[in-house]
Amino acid sequence: MAEYKSDLLIIGSGPAGYTAGIYAARAGINALIVAGAQKGGQLIRSSIVENFPGFSEALSGYDLMEKIHQQAINLGVKIIDDEITEVDFYDHPFVCSSASGNSFMSKAIIIATGASVKWLGLPSEQKYIGHGVSSCATCDGFLYRGKEVAVIGGGNSALEQALYLTNYVEKVYLIHRRHSFNAEHVVQKRIFENRKITIFWNNVVDEIIGTENPLEVTGIRIRNVKSDKKKYLDVSGVFVAIGHHPNTEMFRRYLHLDSGGYIVVKPQGNATDIPGVYAAGDVCNPYRQAVIAAGCGARAALQAISEL
């Protein structure tokens, strides 16, 4: 068990957290990043990033986060591989404790805990997570080489996962509950042009079916929400990409959250209701854009530094 003291504690290591750390280090502030359970944040699961400025060629989310991590290290950012599990914002300096039993005392805090994957909520989905059900095509796509898979969702994440999977699989069934996608035009165009992808509009997944021993997905039953017609699809993998929810449970008793669970920050900045506590990135906005998160991280750090 260790006791850490800092002027600025940054909770989370996605683009927002790292950028906040970079700005704090360059300002000579005694700052610490506690990386969290998924170092690098959600972006490490992104197959392709082509809209982060500064890279003329597309790169994977993992590679982008590796570069940002290295940049932070080179600038002297201190990063602890641990996860904050409890915060106390009633007293000042604030005290947080971690999964490893460490305690962190700090004058200011930037919350950059990001967001987590939403699941469909089917018992069969829970049963087969890690055995054919996944939320990450980049991580698991190669397991389905030559097979048929389904992707659920109609946003950017689902469409990008479907496209990525066509590098490995024979066929992708894209299941969406409505008759239009809410993804960028350029991504939709690639989907419509890809002959390995078959779209099932107005359909939801009723059940994921598989074997017991070994636990393996063998298919899904989908239902047309307009006609109620059911259909069985033979698939070995199911990729759920229906959005995310912000990781804010730990802060609920201290901070104002909106109806989506996002931390409410004051206009023109990243300050929360509690002086000295700031929020940045996906935890306080639903855009899920690395560049926006990075910008928020920079702004939160500048604000924290000026108010220390």
- Stretch in the footprint of ligand NAP (CB under 6 A) among 25-33, 98-106, 150-158, 294-302: 150-158
First to last CA, the chain: 27
12 or 153: whose CB is closer to ligand NAP?
Answer: 153
179 in contact with ligand NAP (CB under 6 A): no
User: Is 296 among the residues known to form the active site?
Assistant: no
Interface with ligand NAP (CB under 6 A), residue from 15, 244, 263, 294? 244
Q: Where are the beta strands (DSSP E) in 56-200?
A: 78-80, 84-88, 94-98, 103-111, 115-117, 133-134, 148-152, 171-175, 197-200
Minimum CB distance to ligand NAP, residue 244 (Å): 6
Q: Which residue has the tokens 């700005």?
A: 23
Three-state secondary structure along 214-282?
CCEEEEEEEEECCCCCEEEEECCEEEECCCEEECCHHHCCCCCECCCCCECCCCCCCECCCCCEEECHH
CA 222 to chain centre: 26
- Stretch in the footprint of ligand NAP (CB under 6 A) among 10-18, 224-232, 239-247, 259-267: 239-247
Interface with ligand NAP (CB under 6 A), residue from 21, 154, 237, 276? 154
Query: Which position among 82, 96, 136, 296 bears the catalytic label?
Result: 136
55 in contact with ligand NAP (CB under 6 A): no
153 in contact with ligand NAP (CB under 6 A): yes
- Residue 6: partners with Cβ closer than 8 Å, 6 or more residues away: 30, 31, 32, 104, 105, 106, 107
- Residue 259: partners with Cβ closer than 8 Å, 6 or more residues away: none
Question: In this chain, which residue has its C-beta nearest to ligand NAP?
Answer: 155
Interface with ligand NAP (CB under 6 A), residue from 67, 78, 177, 245? 177
Interface with ligand NAP (CB under 6 A), residue from 40, 141, 155, 297? 155
Interface with ligand NAP (CB under 6 A), residue from 105, 120, 143, 302? 120
103 or 202: whose CB is closer to ligand NAP?
Answer: 202
Where in the sequence numbering do the catalytic residues fall?
136, 139-140
